[in-house]
Structure 1
Amino acid sequence: MNAEELMRRYEAGERDFSIADLSQASLEGVNLSGAVLHGAMLDRANLRGANLSQAVLSGATLKGADLREADLREADLSDAVLDEARLTGANLEGAILDQADLTSANLEGADLTGADLSEAEMYAADLTGAELDYANLQQANLTKAELDKTNLKGANLEDANLKDAILDEAIVEGTILEGRL
């Protein structure tokens, strides 16, 4: 399936595109709100500014995907692979990212307010200036993560691994920090 066929079928009312191969597809600025892309291959896809709010991307592979300024509010990205994905300025408010792989992902300035990142792999992820207030980061691996100027107000970091994480000027008021430092 290519990007044009996906959009034609979406506009015709179809929503389930599970396990579709859209690697390197150009989907910049498209509206796929509520689409089901469970297990889809979206490696290196251009989804910059796309509306993926309430989309199901569980188990999807988005290695190196461009999701800058994308709307992923309340999207299900559980078990998704987002290694080296660019999510700068993305809106992930209320998103489900439990057990997602965000190794070396760029989430600079992203809004993850109330997101579920429990057991997420975030090794060396850049979360500089991100909004993680009231996010669930239980058992997340934040080893070597950049958390400079990150808002962690009310976040749950219980049993999270923060070894060698950088927390300069991070806001940690009301944060649960019981875990491995």
Structure 2
Amino acid sequence: MNVEELVQRYSAGERDFSIIDLRGAVLEEINLSGAILHGAMLDGANLRRANLSQATLSGAALKGADLTQADLSGADLSDAVLDEAILEGAILDSAILDQADLKAANLAGAVLSEADLSEADLEAANLTGADLEVANLHQANLSKAALERANLEGANLEDVNLAGAKLEDAKLEDTVLESGDSTLIS
């Protein structure tokens, strides 16, 4: 299936595009709100400013994809592979990212308020200035992550790996650190 056919079928009311292969495709500003893209192969795709709100992208491959300023609010990205993806300024409020692979992803300025990032791998991710207010990061790996100026107010950081993480000027009011090793915060 190519991009034109996807747009046509979506416009006609079809929503299930599981396991679609659009690696490297240009999908900039596309509206796929509520689409089911479970297991989709979107490595290296251009999804800048795309509307993927409420979409199901569980198990999707988005390695190196450009999701700059994309709307992923309420989307299910559980078990998705987003390592080295660009999510700068993306809206991910209330998104499900449990067990997602976000190694070295760029989430600078992203909105992740109330997102579920439990057991997510955010090693060396750039979360500078990101909004993680009331986010669930239980057992997440944030080792070597850049969290400068990030808003972590009310976030759950229980059992989080923060080894080598940078938290300068981060907002940590009402943050839950119990059971975690707060000595790893640098």
TM-score by length of 2: 0.97
- 1: CA distance, partners of 2:70 / 2:108: 13
Task: Give structure 1 regions of 4+ aligned residues with deviation exceeding 3 angstroms.
Answer: none
Cα shift at 1:4: 1.1
Question: Structure 1: which 5+ runs fail to align?
Answer: none
Cα shift at 1:66: 0.3
Cα shift at 1:153: 0.1
Q: 2:168 — aligned with what?
A: 168
Calculate the aligned-residue CA RMSD, in Å: 0.5
Cα shift at 1:96: 0.1
Structure 1 residues 6-17: aligned runs within 5 Å: 6-17=6-17
Equivalent residue letter for 1:148:
E
Question: Structure 2: which 5+ runs fail to align?
Answer: none
- 2: CA distance, partners of 1:49 / 1:132: 20
Residue by residue over 1:60-84, the C-alpha shift from the partner in whole angstroms, topping out at 9 and shown as x without a partner, is 0000000000000000000000010
Equivalent residue letter for 1:117:
L
- 1: CA distance, partners of 2:15 / 2:37: 8
- 1: CA distance, partners of 2:155 / 2:104: 21
- 2: CA distance, partners of 1:130 / 1:2: 34
- 1: CA distance, partners of 2:11 / 2:44: 24
Residue by residue over 1:9-63, the C-alpha shift from the partner in whole angstroms, topping out at 9 and shown as x without a partner, is 1011100000000100110001000000000000000000000000000000000
Q: 1:74 — aligned with what?
A: 74
Cα shift at 1:3: 1.1
Q: 1:25 — aligned with what?
A: 25
Q: 2:134 — aligned with what?
A: 134
Structure 1 residues 1-181: aligned runs within 5 Å: 1-178=1-178, 179-180=180-181, 181=184
How many correspondences in the alignment? 181
